[in-house]
Amino acid sequence: MHLGIDIGGTKTDAVVVDTAGAVLARDRRPSGRGADAVVAAALESARAACADAGVTPGEVTVGIGTPGTVVDGIVSHAVNLRVDRLDLAGEFSAGWGARPVVDNDVNVAALGAWILAGDGADRSMAYLNLGTGLAAGLVLGGRVWRGKRGAAGEIGHISVDPAGPVGADGLPGGLETYASGSGLALQWAVDGATGRDVVEAAAAGDARAREICERAYYGLASCVRVLVLTLDVDEVVVGGGMTAWGAELMDGATRILDAWAGASPFLASLELAARMRPLDIDVPVAAVGAAMLGGGRG
């Protein structure tokens, strides 16, 4: 069996799965802040999931997904966790007794979504994570594609409008600014506001909030267009906290994709809207992907 741990900005999610990725036990708890607290929460959640599954640490392989840049088990720049640098593999191993495989959280979520879809090893997938930030994980030929320097899928930094709003990275019109929770809040420019506040204001009739939401639809549609045109993946699976917005987000993006198809026979031939699908927000794809990565997949 395999143990997978998804360390998120707000929660740590641990699962024990069988060899097919079916969840046998699950534990969720708040994530720690700072290196020591992050490791402690991961260990506690891992132990609880194993206890629920009736297995010991020695009976499972271990994989971990985490925000930030990951090289040889060392995590850097995980801002949401208040971690500048952490030897996560080494510190977790010291408390667990076995060294985990560690990767970026979007990469492991992509692997989990691909495995749970179960449509065959030759199917390619882009997992588009719309959360606090925006990035894609890529599964090509049954393996996660990370690129030369681990930057594959960082499409949030692609600018789709040189005259658009300036994002946290200092660049105008970036996809992350258009279609992430932090991007919506940045455009709203109200102290303490979140992306959810912007969506609620739009629903209440606020004109500026509706404009920001319209840009989010355009941003999601542009992500799908970029991913299909660069990689021609079979599908783009949309997940992350922004999907709690519901059908309105997907419908808005579909409307824009359909308009592009109506103007371009080439884009129409690619069936962009049909290749986009939302992920069930309650499915722990990142934890499952981490578990399967620890078991040698991806």
Q: What confidence tier does 62 reach under pLDDT thresholds 50, 70, 90?
A: very high
In this prediction, residue 288 carries a pLDDT of 96
Amino acid at 267: L
Helix, strand or coil for residue 168? coil
> Taking 80 as the threshold, does the pLDDT of residue 120 lie above it?
no
Helix, strand or coil for residue 180? coil
**Model pLDDT for residues 147-160, shown as the tens digit of each residue:** 888 889 999 999 99
Sign of the Cα torsion 291, 294, 296, 298 reads: positive
pTM of the model: 0.89
> Taking 90 as the threshold, does the pLDDT of residue 75 lie above it?
yes
Please state, for a pLDDT cut of 90, what percent of the chain lies above it. 83
225, HSE (Cβ side, Cα atoms, 13 Å): 21
Single out the residue of 67, 72, 75, 55 nearest to residue 15, CA to CA: 55
Amino acid at 95: G
In this prediction, residue 151 carries a pLDDT of 84
Sheet holding 276-278, edge to edge: 143-144, 134-140, 125-130, 235-239, 276-278
What is the token pair recorded at 120?
């065959």
Q: Which residues pair with 74 in a beta bridge?
A: 71, 87
Write the DSSP assignment of 191-206 as a string of letters: TT--HHHHHHHHHTT-
Tell which wins on pLDDT, 282 or 136. 136
- Measured in degrees and rounded to the nearest 5, phi and psi for residue 192 equal 80, 0
| Arithmetic mean of pLDDT, 18-22 | 91
Q: What confidence tier does 297 reach under pLDDT thresholds 50, 70, 90?
A: confident
In this prediction, residue 188 carries a pLDDT of 96
Single out the residue of 131, 147, 292 nearest to residue 231, CA to CA: 147
What is the token pair recorded at 37?
């607290």
Sign of the Cα torsion 112, 115, 121, 122 reads: negative
| 8 A C-beta contact, residue 119 and residue 233 | no
| Arithmetic mean of pLDDT, 41-64 | 97
What is the token pair recorded at 173?
């019109």
Q: Average the pLDDT over each of 26-30, 205-209, 241-245 and give the range with the smallest value.
A: 241-245
Distance CA 201, CA 208 (A): 9
